[in-house]
């Protein structure tokens, strides 16, 4: 769960795009997964960074370590308490349900996946 002393930073439409936490004599920008975006700075710098960061990166694929192997996943739901991800099935249509995982927020278990250089399979 996002700590209650972190201040949500909202874009103009009210959507939370990150958090600000006090850090020493400054403030640190945190993404919606609770990970630091940059070193602590002054309030205005932190707000500008959060505004620029937006939420578009959540549509990217991530890597999740499962039983010692990196698994490519996509975010399906994100709240201040949890993030739900599913196996990146590349839009497959067919029987069966893709694997899903639920992780607490903040989490450092997800890493941005590198771009694919060839189609898997």
Read off the pLDDT of residues 48-84 as tens digits, 9 standing for 90 and up: 999 888 787 888 899 999 888 899 999 999 988 999 9
pLDDT over threshold 70, residue 120: no
Q: CA–CA separation, 35 vs 11, rounded Å? A: 18
> Is there a single domain that holds both residue 71 and residue 104?
yes
> Is there a single domain that holds both residue 92 and residue 105?
yes
2 within a domain of the structure (yes/no): no
Split at pLDDT 50, 70, 90, the class of 40 is: very high
Residues in the chain: 121
> Is there a single domain that holds both residue 30 and residue 66?
no
Q: Which of 19-33, 65-79, 105-119 has the lowest mean pLDDT?
A: 105-119
Note down the domain range covering 20: 7-55
> Is there a single domain that holds both residue 14 and residue 51?
yes
84 within a domain of the structure (yes/no): yes
91 within a domain of the structure (yes/no): yes
Q: Is the pTM higher than 0.95?
A: no
Domain count across the chain: 2
Give the model's pLDDT for residue 4. 92
95 within a domain of the structure (yes/no): yes
CA dihedral 50, 55, 58, 64 (to 10 degrees): 20
120 within a domain of the structure (yes/no): no
């Amino acid at each position: 769960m996002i700590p209650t002393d972190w201040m949500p930073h909202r874009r103009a439409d009210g959507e939370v795009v990150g958090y600000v936490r006090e850090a020493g004599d400054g403030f640190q920008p945190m993404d919606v997964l609770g990970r630091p975006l940059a070193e602590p700075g002054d309030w205005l710098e932190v707000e500008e960074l959060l505004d620029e960061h937006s939420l578009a990166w959540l549509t990217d694929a991530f890597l999740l370590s499962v039983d010692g192997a990196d698994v490519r996943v996509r975010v399906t739901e994100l709240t201040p308490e949890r993030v739900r991800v599913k196996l990146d099935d590349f839009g497959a249509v067919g029987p069966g349900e893709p694997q899903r995982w639920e992780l607490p927020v903040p989490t450092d278990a997800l890493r941005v996946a590198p771009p694919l250089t060839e189609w898997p399979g």
